[in-house]
């Protein structure tokens, strides 16, 4: 396989193709920067099963010990397990080694604050500055940290889930899960053993060299992996996880994939009546079905720019009890009960609990919501043309509600569009949604307008 050199250093941390961009030196420097950034105290560490994780783990441990931090290594676990363990043990921070939905040759470092959540923008900026300065605080030989192995974190994580969801009540469902050779199988096997849930696991072998398929959590992958098995197995629901189990994709009992756009509205529907929080935090590109669901329960949607960083910063501006749920159209969801950790397994339990509460099949629940049609595409555009594009669109669609916090979003009572610049690639993303039929004319006009400026 030929790969381009790939390395991305950003507020989200460090990500790249191992040996073809992401090298040991980056790992040591980034971990040393994080060790310098944190106050004194232990740091929790875990990894997904990629082979390169063993190498990266050694580098991360060395740098953290050198910076004077004790390291608590959870071994191969999902990212949410690491995040919960940070909070439960009073650690000063944590690192997850794993590239989530990327293919096996990728790896990444994700950094967490003592709250167990991703770093805020201000914190991530500070970390990047320390990384670029390379002025690390290494302690003398008498102050070096110690490594400790902690094998029981998964059980403590399951205790947290069992506090929120009635796991035994879900034992009647037959649930098909594609683990994609990732960490979810470790957790689900243990969960089945302790609480009697009925999982049928496929691709459940933990693998480091390559995965059974691309670990993408989307409808296409559900159609390929879960759909053909749902009816033969008579499964009630199907779930597909990425490697570190922070994201999930879903299949109905009839094999139909559930759009990833549906996951946040469904979980909001389940959580809004069950907690004090009335706010749903999501980004400007997420379906308007969220507003409709929130309305039913007397809730309110707070929209923020696209990206994890904006979501983390928005969470910091509200008290946790004000919030019902936060998430995005990709299916990544955070719940206040779990201290705002993106968690695919918690999302799965919320969906199963929703089925159990309504005593309905999953397809009936999904089809019970009003239909929204969304169209998405992307086009390359030179950066210097972007302001002109935005101003042109703004004046052209001046009759709608204008939001310019992240590109341009214009809304009308039954439709909206969002034109924004990707943070990861030099492209403009165009999204338009309408209640009922697809907004084809609006979408085509937008695409044409971007093309004319290219």
Partner 1 sequence: MREHRLKIGVSGIRGVVGDFLTPSLACSFAQAFGAFVGAGRVVLGRDTRSSGEMLQHAIACGLLASGCEVVDVGIQPTPTIQVYVGASRARGGISVTASHNPPEYNALKLFNHEGLFFNHYERRELLDIYYESEFRHAANHEIRGIARDTETPMRLHTERILRQVDVARIKARRFRVALDAVNGAGSVLSCRFLERALGCDLRAISVDPTRPFPREAEPRPDTLGELQELVRRNRADAGFAQDPDGDRLAVVDEQGNVLDNDDVLALVVDTVFSSMPGDVAVNLTTSSVIEDIAQLHGRRVYRTAVGEANVVDMMRAVDAVIGGEGANGGVIFPAVQYCRDSYTAMALLLDLMERTGEPVSALAGRLPRYYRRQGKVAFEHGLLGPLIQALEEKFPDAAADHTDGLKLLLKDAWIHVRASNTEPLVRFSIEARSAERADALYALATKTGDRLPVPHFSS
Residues engaged in binding partner 1 (CB under 8 A): 3, 17-20, 23-25, 27-29, 32, 50-52, 54-56, 58-59, 61-63, 65-66, 104-107, 136, 138-142, 144-147, 208-210
Q: Which is nearer to partner 1, 210 or 367 (CB)?
A: 210
Minimal distance, residue 299 CB to partner 1, in Å: 44
Minimal distance, residue 377 CB to partner 1, in Å: 32
Q: Which is nearer to partner 1, 136 or 443 (CB)?
A: 136
Minimal distance, residue 18 CB to partner 1, in Å: 5
Q: Which is nearer to partner 1, 80 or 145 (CB)?
A: 145
Minimal distance, residue 213 CB to partner 1, in Å: 16
Q: Which is nearer to partner 1, 147 or 454 (CB)?
A: 147
Q: Which is nearer to partner 1, 12 or 104 (CB)?
A: 104
Minimal distance, residue 24 CB to partner 1, in Å: 4
- Quick one: three-class SS letters along the chain? CCCCCCEEEECCEEEEEECCCECHHHHHHHHHHHHHHCCCCCEEEEECCCCHHHHHHHHHHHHHHHCCCCEEEEEECCHHHHHHHHHHHCCCEEEEECCCCCCCCEEEEEEEECCCCECCHHHHHHHHHHHHHCCCCCCCHHHCCCEEECCCHHHHHHHHHHHHCCHHHHCCCEEEEECCCCCHHHHHHHHHHHHCCEEEEECCCCCCCCCCCCCCCCHHHHHHHCHHHHHHHCCCEEEEECCCCCCEEEECCCCCEECHHHHHHHHHHHHHHHCCCCEEEEECCCCCHHHHHHHHCCCEEEEECCCHHHHHHHHHCCCHHHEEEEECCCCCEECHHHCCCCCHHHHHHHHHHHHHHHCCCHHHHHHHCCCEEEEEEEEECCHHHHHHHHHHHHHHCCCCEEECCCCEEEEECCEEEEEEECCCCCEEEEEEEEECCCCHHHHHHHHHHHHHHC
Q: Which is nearer to partner 1, 127 or 345 (CB)?
A: 127
Minimal distance, residue 246 CB to partner 1, in Å: 20
Distance CA 199, CA 444 (A): 44
Minimal distance, residue 369 CB to partner 1, in Å: 41
Minimal distance, residue 41 CB to partner 1, in Å: 17
Q: Which is nearer to partner 1, 68 or 277 (CB)?
A: 68
Minimal distance, residue 282 CB to partner 1, in Å: 34
Q: Which is nearer to partner 1, 128 or 450 (CB)?
A: 128
Q: Which is nearer to partner 1, 15 or 87 (CB)?
A: 15
């Amino acid at each position: 396989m030929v790969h381009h050199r790939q390395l991305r250093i950003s507020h989200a941390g460090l990500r790249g193709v191992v040996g073809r961009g992401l090298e040991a030196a980056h790992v040591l420097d980034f971990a040393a920067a994080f060790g310098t950034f944190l106050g004194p105290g232990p740091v929790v560490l875990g990894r997904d099963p990629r082979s390169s994780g063993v190498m990266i783990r050694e580098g991360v441990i060395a740098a953290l010990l050198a910076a004077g931090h004790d390291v608590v290594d959870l071994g191969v676990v999902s990212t949410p397990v690491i995040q919960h363990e940070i909070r439960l043990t009073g650690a000063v921070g944590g690192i997850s080694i794993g590239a989530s939905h990327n293919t096996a040759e990728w790896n990444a470092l994700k950094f967490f604050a003592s709250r167990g959540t991703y770093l805020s923008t201000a914190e991530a900026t500070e970390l990047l500055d320390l990384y670029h300065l390379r002025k690390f605080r290494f302690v003398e030989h008498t102050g070096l940290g110690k490594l400790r192995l902690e094998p029981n974190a998964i059980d403590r994580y399951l205790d947290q889930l069992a506090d929120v969801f009635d796991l035994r009540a879900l034992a009647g469902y037959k649930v098909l899960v594609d683990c994609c050779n990732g960490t979810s199988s470790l957790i689900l096997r243990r969960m089945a053993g302790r609480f009697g849930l009925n999982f049928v696991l496929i691709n459940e072998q933990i693998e480091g060299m390559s995965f059974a398929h691309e670990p993408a959590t989307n409808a296409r992958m559900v159609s390929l992996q879960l759909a053909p098995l749902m009816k033969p197995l008579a499964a009630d629901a199907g779930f597909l996880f990425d490697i570190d189990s922070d994201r999930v994709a879903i299949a109905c009992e009839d094999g139909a994939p559930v759009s990833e756009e549906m996951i946040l509205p469904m979980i909001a529907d389940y959580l809004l009546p069950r907690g004090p929080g009335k706010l749903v935090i999501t980004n400007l590109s997420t379906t308007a079905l969220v507003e409709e669901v929130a309305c039913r329960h007397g809730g309110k949607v707070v929209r923020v720019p696209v990206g994890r960083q904006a979501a983390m910063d928005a969470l910091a501006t509200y008290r946790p009890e004000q919030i019902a749920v936060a998430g995005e159209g990709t299916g990544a969801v955070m719940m206040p009960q779990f201290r705002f950790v993106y968690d695919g397994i918690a999302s799965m339990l919320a969906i199963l609990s929703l089925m159990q509460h309504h005593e309905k099949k999953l397809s009936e629940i999904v089809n019970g919501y009003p239909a929204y049609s969304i169209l998405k595409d992307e086009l390359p555009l030179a950066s210097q043309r972007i302001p002109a594009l935005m101003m042109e669109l703004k004046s052209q669609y001046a009759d709608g509600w204008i939001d310019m916090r992240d590109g341009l979003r214009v809304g009308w009572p039954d439709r909206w569009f969002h034109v924004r610049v990707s943070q990861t690639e030099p492209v403009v993303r165009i999204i338009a949604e309408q209640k009922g039929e697809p907004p084809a004319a609006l979408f085509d006009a937008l695409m044409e307008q971007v093309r004319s400026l290219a």
